[in-house]
Structure 1
C-alpha cells in the first residue's frame, strides 16, 4: 500500500474547517447519546488524528486549496492572525466512548496529541490507544479487534491522496462501523480536461477510487477532432464527478448518505473535500435513523 504523507490532519484552515468540525462534533454527540443505554462497546477511531489542535485563520483564510503530496511536520502555533481550536480527536473525548483509537504517521504529532489529552482529559488516558504508522496498515490492525458486539464511529481525514481503496474495502466488511470520510477533491486536479494524464497520475487516481474505469466515465468525447483527425475528450461537469465518487462508495458500503458536504476554500471558492457518510450496518432501521441525522446536521451547516 502507498506511503502516507506526514501532513495528516491539516493544521490550518478557515470556514471549511469549522463546517467539517461542526458536522463531526454533532454526529459524535448524537451517536454517543443513541448508544448510551445499549450494552455494546462504543469505539471511536480517528485515522489521521494529528496533534488534536487545528489552526484557524482569523484574518482572511489560508490559500490552501487541497494538497496532493505536500508534507508538513509542524505543530499548530497561535499568532495574531490565527487561533487554535480542538480538532476531531479532542472533540471526541467530550463524549462517552469506551475506547478511542488515534492513528497518526507523524510521531511528533502523536506526542503533541498525548500531551493535549493528558492536560485536558487525564481521566480518559486509560481508554486511549495511540498508534503510530500508515493508516492503511494500522487501521486494519484496529479493525481486527472490533467484534459484532461493538459499535464503531470512524473519521478518516486524509490530507491528500493517502487513503487506499483497499482500506475502505476492509472497513466495509466490518458490519458495525459508521464512517465519515473526507474525500480529497484535489484528485480532480489530476484529471486533465483533455484526458492527457500521465500513467503515474492515473495510478494515483485509481488507487483512491479502486478502479480504472474512471478514465472512461469521467471524460466524454468532444464533437471536434484534433488537427490530426483524432478523437478529443473533455472532462464531465463537476457534479457528475461527485456523483461518480459516491457511486463508487455504494459499490462496497450497504448505505451511503445522499447528503454530503462539499467543503470549499472561501478565498477562491474552489472545492477541496467531499465529506461523505456511509455505514456498514445493513439494518434498514439503523440506516433510516442515520439518514435523518446526517441530513439535519449538514443542512444546519448552511447557516454557519
Structure 2
C-alpha cells in the first residue's frame, strides 16, 4: 500500500502533503523526486503534473521509464489529453527502446479503454476495428485482453474470429477475457471451441468463463440439450469450484431446477472470490419462482459472511429482488 493511501485511510493527507513538499526542496535523487511528484499529484496537488513531465529531461532512461509508469498510474479523464500529448511528444526524442515500447503500450491501452466506452453505445467502426485487430496480435497481454473485452460489442464475423484466436492465447488473462466475450457468439465453431476449452483448458478460471458463455451460445444456436449432457459429464471430473459454480448456474438456466441447490451450496466455499461469484450468478438467474429461496439463503448467509465485497453483492441482489418483484 502506498504512503498516500495510508495517509488517506488515517486522515493525514495534509500532514503528508506538507512533509512531501518540504522533502522535494532538499531531495536530489531524480527517481525519488519523480515518486514524490506523483504522490503529491495523487493527493490533489495538480500543479505537480508539470514537474513530473519535466523529468522526461532526465539523462537516465530508467528515470524516464519511471515517469511513463507514473503517468500511467495517474491518468484519468481530467488529464488524459495532456498526458497523451506529452507521451507522443516525448516519443519523438526518446532513444531507449524499453521506454518507447511502454509509451506505445499505454497509448494503446487508452485507445482501447475509450473504444470500449464508445462501442457500448455505437459499436465499432472500420478504422477502429483495424487498429483493434492489430493490437490483438501485437499488443501486450494486458492490451490483448482489453481488445477481447471490447469485442463483446462487435457483431462482425471477423470480431468473433479474433476472439476465437484469443481464446487460445498463451496468457491466462487474455483467454479469460476472450471466453467471456464469446458469450455473443453465433456459430457452431464458437460453440465447439468453448466446449473444448471448458473441458481441457489448464486453468479452472478459463474453463469457468468458457462454460458461462456456452450457456448463451447454446441458446442462440439451439444446442441446449447437447450442452446439458456435456455439463453433466463435466461435473464428474471438474474439481475447481469456480468452474463448478458456472456449471450449476448454466444447468439451472437451461431448466434443470435441481441445480439451484448445488449453486446455493457453493456459498460455503472457503474462498471469498467463489462466494462472490455465486452471488453474482444468483443476480443473473433470480426470478419470480426462485426469489424467496434465494432471498432467504442470502439473508442467512449474510449473517456469517466476513468479506465486505461479498456482503455488498448480497445487498445488491436483495435490493434487486425488492425492486423488481416486491413492488
TM-score, scaled relative to structure 2 = 0.26
Q: If each structure's helix is expressed as a fraction of its own residues, which one has the higher value?
A: 2
The structure having more radius of gyration, on CA atoms, is 2
Structure ranking higher on relative contact order (CA contacts 8 Å, 6+ apart): 1
TM-score, scaled relative to structure 1 = 0.27
Q: If each structure's strand is expressed as a fraction of its own residues, which one has the higher value?
A: 1
